[in-house]
């Protein structure tokens, strides 16, 4: 029985690009998404299996794990990519948006990894998709940055505790990337274009795209990174130079 790689939040953006590359490399891939229509469309386009799951809902996460167990599916790779960005200034951040951000970005990967432990092979590579906002301050990103930083902290501990199971976890920190997350966050087209235009001043000379991160994810899942634990690879196009 061949093992699979699971990519959470694989219907668009970095998750979709990563799944696409992994499939091109010959991996069997499963993607998750919370919207059934978008999930089915993405899975059909990729030619892979899709499972409806909401990373911010622990019952949904446990149902995902049960389905994989019931289907005798084993995982040798896991990409904890699902995330949410709700921009708001520190003073304007509501408790509801803060809770939603942490539910998806921190609680989500924590309990997804926990629930999927019985499905993980020995060895198994896990990649957590974080953000450059952990390392660099951006206005309007306080709860988002905090949620990803908290997740990076639990990843450090999980690396120690799960090492006897052959599980290793490393971190990708994407810089500003053109993905549907900006539209979902309600950023206007003019503000979005101004942001992307500003990215042309960095060393890369353009805004990052989702596919710019797929190679890093592939590397962190491969045996080439076998000796890495809690390595943080920041792919920002030179933004912080």
13, pLDDT greater than 90: yes
pLDDT for the residue numbered 187: 86
Residue range 8-32: mean pLDDT, rounded:
98
- How many Cα atoms within 13 Å fall on the side-chain side of residue 30? 21
pLDDT for the residue numbered 213: 98
1, pLDDT greater than 60: no
Residue range 66-74: mean pLDDT, rounded:
97
Distance between CA atoms of residues 64 and 81, nearest Å: 15
Selecting among 4, 98, 144, 239, the annotated active-site residue is 144
Distance between CA atoms of residues 74 and 2, nearest Å: 8
Residue range 82-99: mean pLDDT, rounded:
97
pLDDT for the residue numbered 62: 98
Instruction: Report the chain's mean pLDDT, rounded to a whole number.
Output: 96
pLDDT for the residue numbered 19: 98
104, pLDDT greater than 70: yes
Tell me the pLDDT tens digit for each residue of 143-198: 999 999 999 999 999 999 999 999 999 999 999 999 888 888 888 888 888 888 98
pLDDT for the residue numbered 182: 87
pLDDT for the residue numbered 108: 98
Measured between its terminal Cα atoms, the distance across the chain in Å is 46
pLDDT for the residue numbered 78: 98
Burial of 168-203, coded b for 16+ CB within 10 Å and e otherwise, reads bbbbbbbbbbbbebbeeeebeeeeeeeebeebeebe
pLDDT for the residue numbered 52: 98
Tell me the pLDDT tens digit for each residue of 190-232: 888 888 898 899 999 999 999 999 999 999 999 999 999 999 9
- Cα–Cα distances (Å) from 37 to 31, 59, 79, in that order, read 13, 20, 22
Structural domains of the chain, with CATH: 4-235 (3.40.50.720)
Q: Which two tokens stand for residue 182?
A: 């900006």
Q: Has 144 been annotated as catalytic? A: yes
């Amino acid at each position: 029985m061949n093992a699979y790689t699971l990519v959470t939040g694989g219907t668009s953006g970095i998750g979709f690009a990563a799944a696409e590359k992994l499939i091109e490399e010959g991996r069997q891939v499963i993607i998750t998404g919370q919207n059934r229509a978008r999930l089915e469309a993405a899975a059909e386009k990729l030619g892979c299996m899709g499972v409806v799951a909401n990373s911010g809902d622990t019952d949904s996460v446990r149902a995902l794990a049960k389905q994989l167990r019931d289907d005798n599916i084993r995982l040798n790779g896991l990409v904890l990519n699902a995330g949410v960005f709700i921009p708001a200034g520190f003073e304007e951040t509501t408790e509801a948006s803060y809770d939603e951000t942490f539910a998806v970005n921190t609680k989500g990967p924590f309990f997804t990894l926990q629930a999927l432990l019985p499905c993980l092979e020995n060895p198994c590579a896990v990649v957590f998709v974080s953000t450059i906002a952990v390392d660099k301050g951006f206005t309007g990103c306080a709860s988002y940055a905090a949620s990803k930083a908290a997740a990076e902290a639990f990843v450090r501990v999980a690396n120690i505790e799960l090492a006897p199971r052959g599980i290793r976890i490393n971190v990708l920190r994407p810089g500003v990337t053109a993905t549907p997350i900006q539209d979902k966050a309600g950023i206007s087209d003019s503000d979005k274009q101004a942001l992307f235009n500003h990215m042309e001043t960095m060393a890369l000379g353009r805004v990052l795209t989702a596919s710019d991160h797929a190679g890093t994810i592939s590397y962190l899942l491969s045996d080439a990174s076998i000796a890495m634990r809690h390595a943080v690879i920041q792919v920002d196009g030179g933004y912080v130079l």
